[in-house]
Structure 1
Amino acid sequence: MSNKQKSFWSTPTGWAALGLIGAASYFLLVEHQQHFFEYLPFLILLLCPLMHVFMHGSHGHGDHKGHEEEASAPKEPETFQELTDKNEAYRDGYLEGLKTGREESIKTESDNER
């Protein structure tokens, strides 16, 4: 016996929802074509966050088959020193960026004084 759940869209409620969406889309395009194309760019921008929210359900957060080995051996938290050593390159780059920014700021100020 399979424990796999039936997809929402293949249920009678899903078919009804598809029919309602199709009918609404038809009347939107036929009766309100001018308004639809006028607001289409905004609808596309609205679609981005909606897709982001609703499509995260397909990631399978409950299925962690590849993580059995990691879960079987509990990992000790890293010490502060280990984290510091690990982030040494980041820290060096950050300090170099600060130094470069200060030099450019001083250079810009001296150019403005002239």
Structure 2
Amino acid sequence: DETQIGNYIISYQDLVILYDYTKDLVVDSIRFEFVPQDLLLKLTAHEEMEEYRDVRPLNIIVVKQDNLQTLQQQIGGLDESYIGSYIISYTEKIVIYDYINDKVLINQALRTNE
């Protein structure tokens, strides 16, 4: 625990910094990632995703270099070309969406154990 009396917590829109005033030192920081506001709107504009327009996803993860290896263990075929794309999880499917190029890269139904 780095928090101590005399330290300051400085909060920005996407960043929180723990600052030690007496040592003039940033002790720790946390950066929050925001999903573009129109991500789901753009995704569900695609014909194959229209039925999900009013469905709230379970989770949205951005593929980054530091989480790629973990995600590769869960999703076959995932490689560095997917970095920057969003993985959107629904109850019965997983979608990988390239927001910048407005392309659905993977649209895969999840298997049920029935």
Q: Same fold (TM over 0.5)?
A: no
Q: Counting strand residues as a fraction of each chain, which structure ranks higher? A: 2
Q: Which TM-score applies when normalising by structure 1?
A: 0.21
Between structures 1 and 2, the one with greater helix share: 1
Q: Looking at both structures, which has the greater relative contact order when contacts are Cα pairs under 8 Å and sequence separation is at least 6? A: 2
**Superposition TM-score, scaled by structure 2 size:** 0.21
Which of the two has higher C-alpha Rg?
Answer: 1
